[in-house]
Amino acid sequence: MVTIKDIAQMANVSRSTVSRVLNNSGYVSEDARERVEKVIEETGYVPSEYAKSLRTKKTKVIGVILPTIQTETPSRIVTGLGKELEKHGYQILLTNTNLDKDKELEYLDLLKMRQVDGIILIATNTEPKLIKKIKQVDIPVVIVGQESEEAMCVSYDDYHAARELTSFLISKGHVKIAFIGVNETDHAVGYLRKKGFFDEMESRLLPVEKDWIQQGIFDIDSGHASMERIITDSQHQPTATIAVTDRLAIGAMSYLKKQGIQIPEAMAIAGIGASEMSQYIDPPLTTIDYQNEKAGTEAAKQILARIYSQKIQEKIILDYRLIIRNSV
Amino acid sequence: MVTIKDIAQMANVSRSTVSRVLNNSGYVSEDARERVEKVIEETGYVPSEYAKSLRTKKTKVIGVILPTIQTETPSRIVTGLGKELEKHGYQILLTNTNLDKDKELEYLDLLKMRQVDGIILIATNTEPKLIKKIKQVDIPVVIVGQESEEAMCVSYDDYHAARELTSFLISKGHVKIAFIGVNETDHAVGYLRKKGFFDEMESRLLPVEKDWIQQGIFDIDSGHASMERIITDSQHQPTATIAVTDRLAIGAMSYLKKQGIQIPEAMAIAGIGASEMSQYIDPPLTTIDYQNEKAGTEAAKQILARIYSQKIQEKIILDYRLIIRNSV
DNA sequence: CTGTTAGCGCGTTCAA
DNA sequence: TTGAACGCGCTAACAG
């Protein structure tokens, strides 16, 4: 391995001089600079970021913790993060919990050990022990996708999005609306979206039957199963269904099609997330676009601002957009 | 920041002793060990991986270069990589080219600078300058998804997969078969799958009209556009179409549906990749499963074996599986 | 069993 | 304009 020392010897200067041309700092004669650059060119020398980090205490690495990389939301966020971080010479150290909550805590420690300059946590919950750990690691952390009063965060307006979606269905004449949600420990997706739905229904004085409310997990099959329960268990058949993710909605649609239930005539359906498939499925799915990639770039900007200790806004709530398609 | 030195002082031992208990190496008295462990516990000290790496020349980080994180194939591979690497205490440094080929070269350099122990390249081409760069960086590199004689690789049997898929359509009675491919600089997806198709057609003495062969890019819309050209331009209408990816196939299906062309009666269709959507689209798509996650774990095993300089198999070609569904 | 010593590759004073 | 010297936090001989 070729080091700064080798370059110095070959160019007949001291290591300091090499360091100066490398970092463009201090004075260095044109003559010396040229010799050094020539040698660097010839040897293909690349300075060790590790050694540099040891001195500068900056690694230029941002740790990212995500629940899974196999769904569109986190993928888009990471894409956004990557684009923004790259501009500033930062790299991403990726950790994947595969939906194991304990690993969120574990990786927080691990990333600290790796001396990352900051951490982006694509969160699925905001439980106290997680918040506590975040404070404890003593590294800038930005939470994406969940709102929190106690940490920096970039999140979506889940409550109003769900509410507006519900309102839209009502405006289309639906009064019996079913709802497929997820566990409420996921505050954003599980709790807020559900609350938005219920509040809107209540404000319109529309009753909601118990069997209309189903809970799935984050996959297509559970959307299928949820819709099956809605259809078979309900006293009064609803005429529309809101699912908190597009995947759940797509699963629900696949059950309806299998049963020969017409969409949207016999059952309207809407999702949230603007997945790519939502526009190609038949019929195209009404959904809500959250601009996940933008959430990623925003989170990146936040963490960088924090690292360079600029004044920052602690809490960002992004806008959403209702996409109306033929499933309703 | 608390360092090994602080721990040593507080525990009244030398830094070496602390290092010994940290790494469980050499002898250390029970008494000393307990004191050290107690202090570590109290201070919440975590050793700096950076400083360690500087000495050991091992970073326990694997660089990953991928073309995009927004499609299922790379996501699954990364999931597989992550699972295997984690078992061995390795982390992933992620770089995303967003399909910009120049960045593949750039990131190879960057990862070298970061002193990663190995690099996994999820490749979209095997151009000479890429291979040259790989040799030049002098770090173990494993290519995933493309076959190469000159570098370690984990790839799929694209040729036989395409051939078998073609053979299957023929066995279903189709003789006029269209093909939606991609640019052949992508040797695996563009060249080999196409060759498999043509060779099988030829061996069955089935002619292929020029307009049956279309080229798209890696997205759904271009599958739609390709099918439109097939339908509108062809002299003789084909009765089946093979698309080299599921996304292309799904795009093609969306065009057919829009035109009211029945699948599979008027046009059978098959894809490759076993995307999640392939089983939920209507009708469910016949496709080929490549076990991408396994490709990831295999690649991880390869790179680790190489790092620990065990004897390794340079080239791994994974098996595939034909999934027959109603689109044919 | 333990401490001393000597770097790993680099950036940064401080003199010269 | 340059180089010597020091230290970042850690591991690895080598003595003791």
Task: Check pLDDT > 80 for residue A115.
Answer: yes
B162 and B283 fall within a common domain: yes
CB–CB contact A50 B48 (8 Å): no
The verdict on residue B135 lying in a domain is yes
For nucleotide C12, the protein residue with its alpha carbon nearest to C1' is: A16
**Is B281 touching A (CB cutoff 8 A)?**
yes
Helical ranges in chain A per DSSP H = 4-11, 15-23, 30-43, 49-56, 72-87, 101-113, 128-137, 158-171, 193-203, 220-233, 246-258, 292-307
The verdict on residue A326 lying in a domain is no
What mean pLDDT do residues A258-268 have?
A: 96
What is the C-alpha to C-alpha distance for residues B30 and B28, in angstroms, rounded to an integer? 6
What mean pLDDT do residues B315-319 have?
A: 95
pLDDT band at B204 (very low <50, low <70, confident <90, very high): very high
CB–CB contact A94 B96 (8 Å): no
The verdict on residue B34 lying in a domain is yes
Q: Which of B227, B237, B232, B231 is nearest to B270 (CA)?
A: B227
A14 and A68 fall within a common domain: no
- Token reading at B48: 């700096």
A89 and A65 fall within a common domain: yes
The strand pairing partners of B310, in sequence order, are none
The verdict on residue A52 lying in a domain is no
Helix (H, G, I), strand (E, B) or coil at B165: helix
Q: By CB neighbour count within 10 A (0-12 exposed, 13-18 middle, 19+ buried), where does B109 fall?
A: middle
What mean pLDDT do residues B321-326 have?
A: 97
Task: Check pLDDT > 80 for residue B309.
Answer: no
What is the C-alpha to C-alpha distance for residues A273 and A244, in angstroms, rounded to an integer? 8
Residues 234-253 of chain B with CB under 8 A from chain A are 250-251
The pLDDT mean for chain B works out to 94
Report the share of chain A in percent with pLDDT over 70: 100
- Ramachandran sector of residue A115 (left: φ over 0; alpha: ψ -120 to 50; beta: rest): left
DSSP classification of residue A276: G
B152 and B296 fall within a common domain: yes
The pLDDT mean for chain A works out to 94
pLDDT band at B25 (very low <50, low <70, confident <90, very high): confident
CB A70 within 8 A of CB B81: no
What is the C-alpha to C-alpha distance for residues A97 and A69, in angstroms, rounded to an integer? 9
User: Which amino acid does the sequence have at A67?
Assistant: P
Which domain, by its residues, includes B42? Answer: 4-47
Q: What is the pLDDT of residue A171?
A: 97
CATH number of domain containing A296: 3.40.50.2300
A285 and A162 fall within a common domain: yes
pLDDT digits (tens, 9 = 90+) for A35-81: 999 999 999 888 888 889 888 888 999 999 999 999 999 999 999 99
What mean pLDDT do residues A255-284 have?
A: 95
pLDDT digits (tens, 9 = 90+) for B142-161: 999 999 999 999 999 999 99
Those residues whose C-beta lies under 8 Å from the C-beta of residue B182, and which sit 6 or more positions away, are B189, B190, B215, B216, B217, B218, B244, B245, B248
Q: What is the pLDDT of residue B313?
A: 74
**Is B99 touching A (CB cutoff 8 A)?**
no
Those residues whose C-beta lies under 8 Å from the C-beta of residue A197, and which sit 6 or more positions away, are A162, A163, A165, A166, A177, A179, A242
Min Cα distance A285 → chain B (Å) is 13
The verdict on residue B27 lying in a domain is yes
What mean pLDDT do residues B40-68 have?
A: 91
Residue B243 host element (H or E): strand B240-243
What is the C-alpha to C-alpha distance for residues A50 and A71, in angstroms, rounded to an integer? 33
pLDDT digits (tens, 9 = 90+) for A12-25: 999 999 999 998 98
Task: Check pLDDT > 80 for residue A235.
Answer: yes
Q: What is the pLDDT of residue A26?
A: 81
Q: What is the pLDDT of residue A285?
A: 97
What mean pLDDT do residues A154-163 have?
A: 98
Q: What is the pLDDT of residue B21?
A: 92
